Homo-oligomer: A and B are copies of this chain.
Amino acid sequence: MAPALSPSTARVLGTLIREGPTSRMQLARMTGLTPGGITRAISPLVDSGLVRETAARPAGGRGRPATALEVQADRELQVGVKVTATGLVAVLCDLRCRVLAEHHEELRGQDPPTVLEQVAELVRRWCREHPRVRRAGLSLSGDVDPSTGQVGYSPFLGWRDLPVGRLLAGMVDVPVVVENDVRALLTGEHMAGTGAGAHSLAMVTIGAGIGCALLLEGRVVHGSHGVLGEIGHVLADSAGPRCHCGNVGCVEALAGEAAVLEQMAGRGHPGLTVPEVVAMARAGSADAREVLAGAGRAIGIGLATLANLFGPAVIVLTGEAVGGPDGDYDVMAPSVREEFARRAFGSAADCELVLRPLTFTDWARGAAACAVAALLTSRAWNGEAAG
């Protein structure tokens, strides 16, 4: 494949991707390299046309004005695919992780060959239609080792100990990375989103389960036992209901999808879905509001715990019921924020809390972002040498 970027080149390119147009001197300051090093580092990128100079900005001060460098993001494209229990979401992204095209489809089956063939067809088709596709990323929930592409266990699909990366790499013509879905979402956020380039960042997703991924000191962290960020089983209420994990009062038992629907059923509203509950709350239903507020408080405790233990600069919370930034769907948000502020200790409360609705596109974009990240960290592509 591409002749593996040198450390400096990767650092500079990563900075350009995250920060947008930047002058050489700024890059030198940001990356800690010398100006000469910058020129050297970008020279292969400029030669290949991946990076170009934009018009020199007039500059206010004295001296020679700086000329900005900009990634020609559309020169190399990525396909990102997120696999859920029932379907695929795929996006075509440029290097700066902007979405150029989007595609949803149902799974034809859940067994690995069927799913992987379906993914491969999609990747191959986009590779044909867009010759600039260079990499692909695949994300799915469960225990994934991105360095080997091995899937340990994926509960939704029922897969176990499967070399997904190697298999898929053999079916398409571009290198492939496989990642856990929440970590992929986090990677996307860190590459191009609210938390772009943040020193530390946490991502929490509320859905059927509660997911969490962490980035510390610029790196996405992986737990020793494959378990990490099990925020769903943090204690939120000692007198709370029993959780499927056997304990009492877990965040998930109070705020998970099942918990919310169960509480609604207990109040005489059986057979709903989460979006319906949210709609009811917006329409003024006291039951729906109370249930979602209770869930929000539990989540707030979980987030505060996360903030107290990690001190991230930003926590991004996503989920169907979470609500948008400006009140459009703000059903849970106030109670989340209130409880978070109450239980965050000291300067952990300075942690920025970003709430946003969950879109399938973002999940898939995260997978594409992992492909870009793998390019920048010269991590192993599946099946290939460690480049």
Residues of chain A at the chain B interface (Cβ within 8 Å): 199-200, 212, 214, 216-217, 219, 221-240, 245-247, 249, 301, 305-306, 308-313, 342-343, 345-348, 350-351
| Residue in contact with A350 in the complex, picked from B225, B228, B305, CB distance below 8 Å | B225
A342 touches which of B225, B247, B306, B347 (Cβ 8 Å): B247
User: Distance in Å from the Cβ of A13 to the closest Cβ of chain B?
Assistant: 22
B233 touches A311 (CB 8 A): no
Using Cβ atoms and an 8 Å threshold, which residues of chain B touch A225? 311, 313, 347-348, 350-351
A252: nearest residue on chain B (CB-CB)?
B345
Residues from chain B with a CB closer than 8 A to the CB of A342 are: 246-247
The distance in angstroms between the C-alpha atoms of A216 and B343, with both chains bound, is 25
Please tell me if the beta carbons of B223 and A200 are within 8 angstroms of each other in the complex. yes
Cα–Cα, bound, A245→B342 (Å)? 10
A227 contact from B224, B240, B346, Cβ within 8 A: B346
Out of B221, B227, B235, B313, which one reaches A216, CB within 8 Å? Answer: B221
CA distance A342 to B345 in the complex (A): 26
Given contacts A233-B308, A305-B235, contact A245 B348 (CB under 8 A): no
Assess whether B308 is in contact with A227, with CB atoms less than 8 Å apart: yes
- Tell me whether B343 and A311 are in contact (CB under 8 A): no
Cα of A343 to Cα of B222 in the assembled complex, Å:
21
Q: Residues of B contacting A223 with CB < 8 Å?
A: 200, 310-312, 348
Contact of A226 among B224, B311, B312 (CB under 8 A): B311
Q: Smallest Cβ distance from A90 to chain B, in angstroms? A: 30
Asked if A233 and B343 make an inter-chain contact with CB atoms under 8 angstroms apart, the answer reads yes
Q: In the complex the two chains form, what is the Cα distance from A223 to B198 in whole Å? A: 12
B351 and A228 form a contact (CB under 8 A): no
Distance in angstroms between the alpha carbons of A310 and B231 in the assembled complex: 10
- 29 A–B contacts, CB within 8 A, in A order: A214-B309, A217-B219, A217-B222, A223-B310, A224-B311, A224-B312, A224-B313, A225-B311, A225-B347, A226-B311, A227-B345, A228-B309, A228-B311, A230-B308, A230-B309, A230-B346, A231-B309, A232-B345, A233-B308, A233-B343, A233-B345, A234-B235, A234-B305, A234-B308, A235-B301, A237-B238, A239-B239, A246-B342, A306-B309
